[in-house]
Each structure stands twice: as C-alpha cells, then as structure tokens.
C-alpha cells in the first residue's frame, strides 16, 4: 500500500442519533438524517469507542499440536460513549426505556407542587431495542456507523462533582438482525471510496 495522508482520519467531530426499530436508515454518508432519528446531543470529550469482536473455538486432534479447525462461536459489536445532555430521550436510552411524565404545578396543594418531570424505570425484564447511528466527521469526509437493532448492555454509573458534568454512560450493543447485517457503515472517506 502506498503512503497516502488523505487516508489518515481523525474523528474531529460528529453526532450520535437514535431511532425506533423499523425507522429508515441513512442512505448516504452525508445527506440529512431521515425523519425519526433523534440527535442525542453533546458527548463527553472522550468521544466514543467502537469495538468489534469475535470468539473463536479451536478444534484439536490427538495427532496434531496445531489446531485442526477454528470456528467462530460468537460475534459482538459495541459502541460506547458518555452523554452530557440530560433529556427525556437520553435518560430513557441510558436506563433501558421507561416513561417520563410531565407533572403540572399545583400552587394550592399542601405543600405546593412545582412543575417537574417524573421518570419511571421500565420493568426489569424489559429490553429497550432501538437503532443507533454514530456519525464522525473529518473535514468534508464523514462516516456513519449504523446498528440496525441493539440495546444498552452495561450498567449505568453516574458520578457527581462540583467541577465535572454528570454523564450518562452508554454501551450500545448490536443484536442479531432478521434482515441483513446487525451493523454497517457508510462513508465517503478516500481510500474506502474506491
């Protein structure tokens, strides 16, 4: 492979979107996101981590010290990031669903009730499946990873401090897809776009 600086990429900026299952996915690397995709707002400075993995079992025979065969027993694809913005959408994503109800103010109640939101978590058995799109930009070049069916799979641990934001940590893992692959990406990066 020849040396080519245009193929060196930096995830200088980007966005993360979420959508219900069945929502039409992006049809290009740069067009506007289709209707139904919600921008999840600011991420922490650490941005994101994408991890694709697989577990391989080795089949060995008595007559050979080398593996006779290798078989893929499972695959995984995860995207991890920390959301900075707290909204009904980001809270429900982080905690695996649930509901957010707006409670109206009632000045005549004893004691008076101010307007507020009430978050109720989902039943413990609920798995909140949805789509996720991680978009990264490097100048005019863009890449969109899309998980067509997935869910939050790690514990949510939120810290508090006088000087740091309280983040909503997300690890979103791909589930098997009934149609097509569980994840894909679209890009206009030079070198991949050949």
SS3 state of residue 58: strand
Total-model pTM: 0.86
What's the confidence (pLDDT) of residue 194? 59
Beta-bridge partners for 56 = 72
CA atoms of 165 and 41, how far apart (whole Å): 14
CA atoms of 36 and 17, how far apart (whole Å): 10
pLDDT tens-digit series, residues 132-143 = 999 999 888 899
Which residues are within 8 A (CB) of 29 and not within 5 positions of it... i.e. 6 or more apart?
A: 142, 143, 144, 186, 187, 188
pLDDT tens-digit series, residues 84-132 = 999 999 999 999 999 999 999 988 888 888 999 999 999 999 999 999 9
CA atoms of 133 and 126, how far apart (whole Å): 22
Beta strands in 6-120 (DSSP E): 13-19, 38-39, 43-60, 67-83, 99-103, 116-120
Confidence of residue 190 (pLDDT cuts 50, 70, 90): confident
pLDDT tens-digit series, residues 142-159 = 999 999 999 999 888 898
Q: In degrees, to the nearest 5, what angle opens at C-alpha 123 toward C-alphas 120 and 124?
A: 120
């Amino acid at each position: 492979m020849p040396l080519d600086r245009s193929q060196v990429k930096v995830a200088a900026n980007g966005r993360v979107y979420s959508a219900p299952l069945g929502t039409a996915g992006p049809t290009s690397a740069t067009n506007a996101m289709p209707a139904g995709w919600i921008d999840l707002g600011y991420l922490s400075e650490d941005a994101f981590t994408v991890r694709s993995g697989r577990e391989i079992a080795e089949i060995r025979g008595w007559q050979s010290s080398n593996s006779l065969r290798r078989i893929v027993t499972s695959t995984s694809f995860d995207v991890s990031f920390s959301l900075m913005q707290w909204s009904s959408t980001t809270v429900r994503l982080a905690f695996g669903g649930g509901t957010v109800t707006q409670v109206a103010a009632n000045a005549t109640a004893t004691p008076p009730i101010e307007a507020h939101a009430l978050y109720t978590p989902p039943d413990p058995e609920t798995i909140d499946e949805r789509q996720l799109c991680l978009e990264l930009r490097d100048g005019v070049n863009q890449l969109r990873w899309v998980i067509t069916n997935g869910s939050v799979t790690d514990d949510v641990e939120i810290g508090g401090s006088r000087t740091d934001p309280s983040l909503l940590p997300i690890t979103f893992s791909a589930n098997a897809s009934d149609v097509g692959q569980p994840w894909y990406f679209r890009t206009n990066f030079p070198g991949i776009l050949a």
